[in-house]
Amino acid sequence: MIHVDITGRHINVTPAIREFTMEKLSKLERLLDGPLEAHVVLGIEKHRHVAEIQVKSRNGIFTGHHVTEDLYASIGDVADKLERQAVKHKEKLHAHKHRRGHRQPEIAAVIAANAAAEVAVDAEPEPPAPRGVGRGRFCSKPMTLEDAVIQLDLGEVPLVMFEQAESGRAAAISRTADGDLYFVEFPDS
């Protein structure tokens, strides 16, 4: 539902102007979720027809201002500006939510695989001692598993070693040849 307050400066707001404004703002109601509150200021100064609209929703405040020689064109142009703002804001929110939630299933799968590997390690005999194949740096800054995955994806290194923020234990994460994540947690010394 949209609540519209229309103010006229040096102009009488006719029912036709009110209906046209409501029609143009109804598109915004479909784009933005929840109730909307709009304040419209229409004015005439010499030959200039001014339309200012401010729309408040639970997602934010959108404002627009336009001046032409036709009042209906000014209202339409401002409504189009507000629609573009709302679409851009909605896409930004959707992209942010998508990016944030993208890693959660992958990290949960790594944690589950790590728990299964711990059970399997207890049942198997001691593996041979690992051999050194290279040198690297250890990131002593505590970070979460999600942060380590982001570092792995951003960096040019195949392995990220880090201190877990939750437990303070050393851990490492890398990608296998098929793109899966491989997580190792080192026991306390």
How much is the pLDDT for 164?
83
Residue 189 has pLDDT above 60, yes or no: no
Instruction: Report the alpha-carbon distance of residue 45 to residue 50 in Å, rounded.
Output: 8
Check whether 134 has a pLDDT greater than 60.
no
160 strand-pairing partners: 173
Domain residue extents for the chain: 2-101, 104-123+136-185
Lowest-pLDDT choice from 33-47, 63-77, 105-119, 124-138 = 124-138
What is the percentage of the chain residues whose pLDDT exceeds 70? 73
pLDDT at 159 over 90: no
Tell me the mean pLDDT in the region 123-139.
59
Task: Give the residue among 16, 43, 42, 32 at the shortest CA–CA distance from 82.
Answer: 32
DSSP state of 47: T
CB 7 within 8 A of CB 39: yes
What's the token pair of residue 70? 């036709």
23 vs 19: CA distance, rounded Å: 6
Please say whether the beta carbons of 20 and 4 come within 8 A.
no
The token pair that represents 87 in the structure block? 């679409």
Determine the pLDDT at residue 144: 84
Contact present, 168 and 162 (Cβ < 8 Å): no
The pLDDT of residue 41: 93
- 173 with 149: CB under 8 angstroms? yes
- pLDDT score for 18: 92
**Threshold 0.85, pTM exceeds:** no
pLDDT at 148: 81
Third-level CATH fold of 104-123+136-185: SHC Adaptor Protein (3.30.505)
pLDDT on residue 188: 73
- Residues 6 or more apart whose Cβ sits within 8 Å of residue 88: none
Query: Over pLDDT 90: what percentage of the chain?
Result: 24
| Close Cβ partners of 54 (under 8 Å, ≥ 6 residues apart) | 38, 39, 61, 62, 63
Cα 2 from chain centre: 26
Q: Quick one: CATH architecture of 2-101? A: 2-Layer Sandwich (3.30)
Return the bridge partners of 184, or none.
Answer: 172
